Every structure is written in C-alpha cells, then in structure tokens.
Amino acid sequence: MKKIKLGIFGPSGRMGQDILKQLKSFNEFDLVSLCEKKNHINIDKEINKVKITSDIKSLINLSDVIIDFTSPKASLKLLENIKENKDSTAIVSGTTGYSKVEDEKFIKLSKNLTVLRSFNMSIGVNLLKTLVSTSAKNLSNISDVEILEFHHNKKKDVPSGTAITLFDSIKEGSNHPKKPVFRTQTADRVRKPNEIGFSSIRGGNVVGEHTVFFFMDGERIELTHKADDRKIFSVGALKAAKWVYDKKPGLYTMLDMIS
C-alpha cells in the first residue's frame, strides 16, 4: 500500500512533539519533512531520521499532507506558499488565536485548496459541538447560556478556539441572535438576554476542559468535555491527515470526518 507522505509544520511545539510521538502507531504515513521558522534553535536537528529545516517550499513539495500547529501568521504564510508552489498538498490545521482579519484571510486563501481545519482535533469535543447545537435549539430561548474553559498556564489565546466554536454551535442551534460577552470585572452590569458569557481559567498543566451551561428556572444542564491527555489531539490530527489525503479541494472540519 502506498504510504502518505507527511510533513509537520512546527514539530518543536507541544502538539508537534506529541504528533511525532504518536506517529509510530500509524503505519499509513511516511514522515518526509519537518519545518520550523528561520533561526529556530532546532534547525538541523534530526528526528526519526528527518532533519528539521526552515525551507517551507521543500515542506510543501515533499508532502502529500501537512499537519500545522503553529501561529496564525505562520499558517497564513503556509497557505500562501501552497497556492504558489503545489496546490495539491493537503493541510490539517489546528492553529488557534486568529484575529477576525486573519480568520477571513485564512478562509480566502483556503479556496481551491484541500484543508481540514479545527480548533480542537478531539473527536469528543466535536461530538460535544453537536450536543450543544441540539441543546441550544431546545433550550437557548428559555435559559441563560455560559461557556467556561480551563487550560494550562502557557496558553496564550483567551478565550480558547474551542470555546469560540462552541459559541458557533450555540448560534447554529438557536432561533435568536446571540452576542458573545467576555466576563471581566465590573461593579454595575447585570446579565442581558441573548448574551453568551465566556469565562477563562489558566493554570498548571491542564490539557483542556470546556463546559457549556444552560441555566433555567430551578435547574441547569451542563455539557462538559475534559481532556486528560494531549494525545487525543495528536491522534485526532493524524486521523484527520489520513482522512483528508484523498479528498477533493474544500474547507473541511472534524465534523465532516466524523460524519
């Protein structure tokens, strides 16, 4: 069986390292390229007999699929280079922290490329999104909805990309417009109808925990996903790379893969 030529963009990061660790369980792949930003401390280091370089064009030309967990700026640069060099190379992108302008640019650059994008590669979280959307359809008009997320103390973006996609799921299921509100200190503000509150906690080595609350009169429903091991994201990314390899150009999500 022909193996899928896999490239990893950002192999030195937390997710990159764990993807390399889990890769040994996936015989479908042949690791062909590892790419970091210029002047990175790990340039020229070898992992699994593959040397880390800063040659993004080589990464693209050698790979059938690239897994990308970097930064918005780096991910956009990757998309630009794929369009210029080899638009048949597929991407699995788990980068978070995009601004509105960067997000719009990502979507525009993805046109005519094969891209699977998810802010959370966990199958459980993506099933949670379906449950949240269904619950919102039945409950969002009679409840106050809040999102709470926990992450480790090294995470930069607040709220998490997953929390934002859970808000999107609430909007999809609801019959009324919903407004995101980020909970901060205030001495004079009551909760308004149709707002979705975000609260974030950062500490320790928490891998990730997300809860959506539906507060009703005298009762509440809590939908929670807890990640205890980072490998659920790296395994999910590798499964996504296997799935997207032979797909036609399009912007896919983990829900497309699951369904």
Pair 89, 31 in one domain = yes
Q: Per-residue confidence of the chain (259 residues) as pLDDT tens digits?
A: 689 999 999 999 989 999 999 999 999 999 999 999 999 999 999 999 999 999 999 999 999 999 999 999 999 999 999 999 989 999 999 998 899 999 999 999 999 999 999 988 999 999 999 999 999 999 999 999 999 999 999 998 999 989 999 999 999 999 888 999 999 989 999 999 899 999 999 999 999 999 999 999 999 999 999 999 989 999 999 999 999 999 999 999 998 998 7
Pair 109, 177 in one domain = no
Catalytic residue check, 155? yes
Catalytic residue among 129, 151, 225, 239: 151
Q: Say if CB 91 and CB 79 are below 8 A apart.
A: yes
Pair 84, 150 in one domain = no
Q: What is the CATH number of the domain that holds 200?
A: 3.30.360.10
pLDDT at 2: 86
Pair 165, 191 in one domain = yes
Pair 213, 251 in one domain = no
Catalytic residue check, 226? no
pLDDT at 44: 95
pLDDT at 240: 97
Pair 214, 237 in one domain = no
Q: Say if CB 179 and CB 195 are below 8 A apart.
A: yes
Pairing of strands 46-47, 29-35: unpaired
Catalytic residue among 155, 171, 242, 247: 155
Pair 206, 243 in one domain = no
Q: 99: part of which helix (H) or strand (E)?
A: none
pLDDT at 203: 97
Pair 175, 97 in one domain = no
Looking at the structure of the chain, the number of domains it has is: 2
HSE-up of residue 154 (Cα within 13 Å, Cβ side): 6
Place of tokens 């503000």: 189
Question: What is the spatial distance between Cα 136 and Cα 91, in angstroms, rounded to a whole number?
Answer: 31
Where in the sequence is the domain holding 241, given as residue range(s)? 4-117+231-258
Q: What is the CATH number of the domain that holds 31?
A: 3.40.50.720
246 φ, ψ (degrees, to nearest 5):
-105, 20
Pair 71, 151 in one domain = no
Pair 90, 145 in one domain = no
Look up residue 232 and give its two tokens. Answer: 């659920």
**If you compute the radius of gyration of the chain from its CA atoms, what whole number of angstroms results?**
19
Q: Report CA 250 to chain centroid distance, whole Å.
A: 17
**DSSP label at 25?**
G
Pair 30, 128 in one domain = no
Pair 10, 107 in one domain = yes
Q: Which residues contact 227 (CB under 8 A, 6 or more apart)?
A: 122, 124, 125, 207, 208, 209, 233
233: closest CA among 125, 98, 71? Answer: 125
